[in-house]
Structures are given as C-alpha cells and as structure tokens.
Structure 1
Amino acid sequence: MSKQLKIRHVVLLVPPNSTLLTTAGPLDVFSKAIEQFDLVRNKVDFIYKTHVVSMETEKLITTSSGLSILTEGCYTEIDYPIDTLIITGLARHLDPNLKNKMVEWLKEQEKVIRRICSVCSGAFILAEAGFLDGKKATAHWSKNEEFAQMYPSVDVQIARIFIKDGNIYTAAGITSGMDLALALIEEDFGQSFALNVARWMVFYLSRPGNQSQFSTYLDCKSIGNPTIRKVCEWILGHLKEDLTVEKLAEHVAMSPRNFARVFVRELRVTPAKYINKLRLDNACQHLIETEFSLDEIAFYCGLKTAENLRRQFISLLEVSPAQYRKSFQSSFMSAS
C-alpha cells in the first residue's frame, strides 16, 4: 500500500501588470518537479501542489506583455495552509487600498507560512510588511537603488540573483525566479533532484544566488561621462597592473582628487572597489573558460595570489573559486 503524502501548497501571488515570466518561470519549475516526483517518492512524505492567485477579485490578470493569466481566484479566498508563498512582479505599483489589505493579510499569515518569497519588485511589498527589516534582500537591478531609498532598514544587495535570509527569500526578477524555484526545490528534495529538474528544463547550469545580476563589463559601456568611460575601458586591458587613483588620473589628465570625485559621482563606487569588481568578474570568466591554476588566474586578474583570490571570492560571492568553477564550468571544458 502506498503511503499517504502530505500536500505542500506552493502559491504564486500575481500582482496586476506583472512580467509574465516572473510567474510562468517558477510555476513551470515547480510543475516539472511534480512530474519528476517518482524519483524521490520513497524518500519524502510530501508532494507539491501549485496555485496561481490574484491580488484582486478578477481572476483574469493582464501581464505587462499583454498576455493574460487565468488564476484560481483572489488570495483572500485561500482555504488551505500555504507552505511556500511567492509574490511575483510589480507589487509596488498597487493601488494603496489594495496594498494595505495585502500587507495586513501577509502579517496574519507570516507565522504559519514556512517560506515567503518575492520575485523582482515583489520585494517592495515584503518590505512594506516589515518582513525585510534588518535582513538582506534584493530586487531587479534597475529598482534596487529606489528600493534602498524607500526602505533604509533593509540591507539591499545591489546585484545578487536571489537571497535567503531566515525564511524570507527575494529574487532579482525575470529568469532569477526560476533559479530561486530550483533552490527551493533543492532545499526540499536535495541537489540531485534539483539538477534533474534543471536538465528537463534545459537549464544548462543552475545559478547560486550569490552570482551577480550583471557584468561590470556591460556596466562600463553605459557610463555617460566620456572621460570616466575611457578610463574604465582602459582598466579592462591593464588589470594586472598596480592601478592607483594617481595612475588612473594621470591617464586622463586629471588631478587625483578631482578624478576620484567624478568617478564616484558617475559610478557611485570608489575606483578601488570598481577595479576589484572588474578583477573578480575577470577571475570568474577565467574559472569558467580556462583550465588555468588559481595562481595563474590571480596573476592575470591583478589579484596577485591564489590566497587573495580565494579571500575575495569568499568575501564577495560567499563561495570558493573551486566551488565556483565546479558550478559554472562548461561540460565541454570539463571533459577536455
């Protein structure tokens, strides 16, 4: 006789005008996990059931792309215990009355929901409910500055893909909601099962939350000030060198003091921190695309030694270079 399985209800709460993929992505990941459940049936006593609900009384929600989602109904009609709640999308644009009702409901549910999550700007409503006070959190990179200004008690992590702090999870948005869903599945069923789901979803790699949302190389191209853009592009080809403020200022014929001031104004980060981020990005690329030793990578990237490289990875990415390489290196490179 097969054992009776408990139901863990996974609820995706969809605000009006959300990006379609912030809902459809995580939903498909959990749905695939349900399809593959036979792989772990003998190891667990529960199974998922997914629900898509709206924030309004209307069941039909129009997404930002114009494609509509037919939900089960409003969140106020939920009559089952929620295991995992995921707020998807642009909750910060809600009508004030709707938002206030949502916040009060969340506060009532907080003690009985095992995991509370957001994707993209859904983090704004978690912050409004006070769930993120004193916690690390993230949203889409384009919203994080506003997020930090609106909620100064939140430790906003500007570029993280997703973050877990206690039982609260926040994801950057769009495809990162799928990364978060995979991480939640891994928590429940283990890495092997999560990787199997990723394969079926044709996820070539599952990204840990500490990976950056965007590359500093791309950030360099968007700098408005032509002088600062010029020096940043020059830095890319000279990472091995000792890049002091004095040397950078000399390259663009500015005084060190004025250069540092303009640099911070344009990029909102000091030259030293920016260069360190470039070096880390470059090291990540070498780890993925080459078989160089850690000492060689540290030399080419200007981080000097393998030990310094390791310290930088642990400090900023919360993972060792070896673990990063194992997680991201191409299967073609690994097999060569």
Structure 2
Amino acid sequence: MEPLHTARRLSAAVLAVSNQLTVPEVLQTIVDTARELAAAEYSALGVPDEDGSFAQFVVSGVPEEQQEAIGPLPRQHGFLAVMLREPEVQRLDDIRADPRFDWWPAAHPVLRAFLGVPIMSGDEILGALYLANKPGGFTDEDTELVRVLAAHAAIALTHARLYARNRELTIAEERARIAHDLHDAVAQRLFGLRLTAQAADLLIDRDPAAARARLAEVSALAREAAEELHAAVLELRPARLAEDGLPDVLRKQVQILDRASGPTLVFHSGEPAVLPPAQQAVMLRVAQEALHNAVRHSGAHRIEVRLAGTVLEVADDGTGFDVDATLKAGRSLGLRSMRDRACQVRGKATITSSPGGGTVVRLEVPGA
C-alpha cells in the first residue's frame, strides 16, 4: 500500500477520536482502517464487560446477515480471552493450530492467519483488536500500524469511561439537589399545616365556621405535603421501566422536575409503542440528559416533553446555542452521549438549536 495512502487513512482514524463521532462510530472507523491497512479479510474490536461477555464487539468484513446467523455477542473464551488477559501482541500463521484456540459457531468465518493487539491504558487492558486472514500472514509493519490504531482506540474508550464517571457524579449531585429542594418544600407545607391547625384550635369555640375553614386548609396542606413526599420517593429510587412503562416513568419525572425547578415542564404522550427494554432504557436516559441540560443551562421558561410511539422530543424556549460550534469545541459531551446511546440501539438522535431560538432534542428508535 502506498505510504501516502496509509498516512491519510491513519490520519482519518486518529481525527475520528476527536471529531463529532460517537464512540461506536470511532471504534468502527478504527476497525475498518485496521482491516484495510493490514490487507486482512476480517477485523474486530472487543471491549469486555464484567459478566464474561463483551460490552462492545465491533466487526469489519463480515456481512450483516452472517453476523445475525453467528448469533449473540461472543463470550470471553479461546483467543478472545487470551487477548484480554495477556498484554502481548499475538501473531500466528494459523490460529487453529495453536493449543489455546477453542472454537467458533457454525456460521463463523474460518480464520487462519491471526494478529491480535491489546488496547491498553497504562497497565490495564481495555480491549483488543483482532485481525485475520491476510494472504502470506501478518508482518512487523502490520503490527506497528495496528498498535497505533489500538492506542487511539484506548484514548476513545478512556474518554468514554471518564465521561460516564463524571456523568454519574453529576446525576448524584442533581438528585441530591432535587431531594434538598423537595425537603424544603415539604417542610414549608408542614409548617403551614401546623400554624393553620393552631388557628383552627383557637377558633373552634368562638367561630366554628371559621374553624371548619381552617381545618379544610389543614386537609389540603396535608395532601400537598404527602404528594411532595411521594415525589421525593419516586425521584430517589430507580425508575421501574418494566413495571410502570416508559410513559408513566417519564411523566413522573417531568412532574418532579416541574415542582423542583424554575421552568414550567409539560409532558405529552401519544399512543404508546411496544418497545424492547433496551430501547426504553435509551429513550429514558436521553430524556433525562436533555431535561438536565434544559433545566440547568437553557434559561428556558417552558420545557415540553413529547413521547409518541418510537419518537421522543424534548423542546425548550431557552437561549439556544450553535450546535456545530459547541461540538467542534468539545464542550458538550452530553450531546455526544445522547447520540452514542441512540447508536447503541440503531436509533437516531438529533439536536436542533440556534442562539435565541430554543433547543429541540429528538430521538427515534426502531420498534419491536
């Protein structure tokens, strides 16, 4: 392969790490580039989970129909597991002849020449790049090219991990703030209830009608306090998508934010769609991300959440922003996170905004 072409393909893969692409798109670019530059028939990138399988497994060279015939994501066995335990490059003329080779499903392509390169962050193995079936076998030059791509895959995965941790902290802080606000609101209700009850006690002998009016106020205040406490419990426990369904979970969360924050929040729901659990979870997380941004950063007076079938929209009348400029400046991982989540379930997330024109976050996912 011409050196200039190789340099350009490497440059494109490296730029993908810092571009607007989501993590799955970056990993796919890296896998495709590795297969092309090493002249391999197949390539893949695996990121392990904690249950003996893979959180992500990106493939190049295997048609989609064949991937479906192969079945679900592979378990960590054979050379897949070797690459996740040992931080050395593995280069073999025929993977089937190695005693560590295990097996593959019936629909799996037959692999011969093999090159495996770990994806490292310091001493930690984040995943591995796998290449197979190069005529004549893999060379030292192939190994060095794939090492470069593995290093940039490590950068993308590390950024994603850091963002996830930061987002968890932000969510915890936000939940604590909401709980504090709700506690204050309930405390005010109870203080008012106590004063009204005392007033009714003073009036009960000399003005029974006024006392009954005060007791009616006590009943209303008690009901409102109970509603606030119920809202606090709903917010501070995990969403029960399986039991309550996505529309009800979203409606409750919008109601909670409407009580606890400045803008007016409104929820609209059309005919509910039957969605797999993964799609429901992504729609909920994207809605939470969009609501978090709108409540804290948009300066909006009104925020509307619409759920109709497989489409979710969160729209605000806030200050808006330049989406392209924000993404290029790398200042909004939240926008990338929403697109990343959508990509995980083959959905599409779009963010439409302009300075002074408010913001609309739209997510569409495939149905069941």
The reply to whether TM is greater than 0.5 is: no
TM-score calculated relative to the size of structure 2: 0.27
Bigger radius of gyration among the two: 2
TM-score calculated relative to the size of structure 1: 0.29
Structure with greater proportional strand content: 2
Structure with greater proportional helix content: 2
